[in-house]
Amino acid sequence: MTSGPRRVLVVFCHPLPDSFVAEAHRRALAGLATTDAEVRSTDLYAEGFRPEFSAAEHRTHLEPGVGDDIASHADDLTWCDTMVLVYPTWWSGQPAMMKGWIDRVWASGVAWDLPDGANRLRPQLHDIRRIVAVTTHGSSKLVNSLQGEGGKRTLSRSLRAMCSRRTRTTWIALYGIDTCSDARRVEFLERVESEIASLAR
């Protein structure tokens, strides 16, 4: 990783700007503002990101490059050394909008390539050394563990595999949000701000 300030990409995904997850996003940005990190922030719903992987994209998905409509997202991904994803966990995983961002932006020539004759993807995001998830769960930690924590595995196994071998993942999660106390919610938001700030220093 190059020396100098951290280059942090924050990708936020929630349809409601007044949601608890939106507040967690604001707190993450507030934490970053206390550091010298360079920050790029994307609000997928606000910008009207198109998550569906089209038939045309599928036909050419082994060819390097992405369409003009997501070129800026690809540029952000290759620019950063730290990635923070802020989203609610729905049905044990990332929301469709966030999953679509992964499907379309983590593409050939951006996150990976497949050399002629090879049968394994070759990672391309060598600058990324930290992947952070800030998320909420309606169910308990125990229930999520029994379900296999699919969203967590997407980050810690699939996405991490396209980055540096030294990439670390950080999971900042509030479980049981539907029934937890206001005090736990406040504690979680404070944790988000302080931990994101610490990771970016």
CATH code, domain with 23: 3.40.50.360
Asked whether residue 107 is assigned to any structural domain, the reply reads yes
The reply to whether 2 falls in a domain is no
Residue 51 lies in a domain: yes
What pLDDT score does 2 carry? 52
Calculate helix-pair angle for 71-79, 96-105, nearest 10 degrees. 80
Q: Identify whether 84 is part of a domain.
A: yes
pLDDT at 139: 85
As a whole number of angstroms, the distance between CA 11 and CA 22 comes to 11
Please tell me the distance from the alpha carbon of residue 182 to that of residue 189, in angstroms, as a whole number: 11
Q: Confirm whether pTM is higher than 0.85.
A: yes
Which residue numbers in the chain have pLDDT < 70? 1-2
Asked whether residue 1 is assigned to any structural domain, the reply reads no
Q: How many Cβ atoms from other residues are within 10 Å of residue 145's Cβ?
A: 11
**Number of domains within the chain:** 1
- Residues 59-85 pLDDT 10s: 999 999 999 999 999 999 999 999 999
> What is the residue whose two structure tokens read 């550091």?
35
Average pLDDT, the chain: 95
Residue 93 falls within a domain, yes or no? Answer: yes
Q: Which has the closest alpha carbon to 109: 140, 145, 75, 85?
A: 75
pLDDT reported for residue 1: 46
**Residue 73: domain span:** 7-200
173 domain residue, yes or no:
yes
Q: What is the structure's pLDDT at 70? A: 97
Distance of alpha carbon 7 from alpha carbon 56, whole angstroms: 32
Let me know: does 164 contact 136? Beta carbons within 8 Å: no
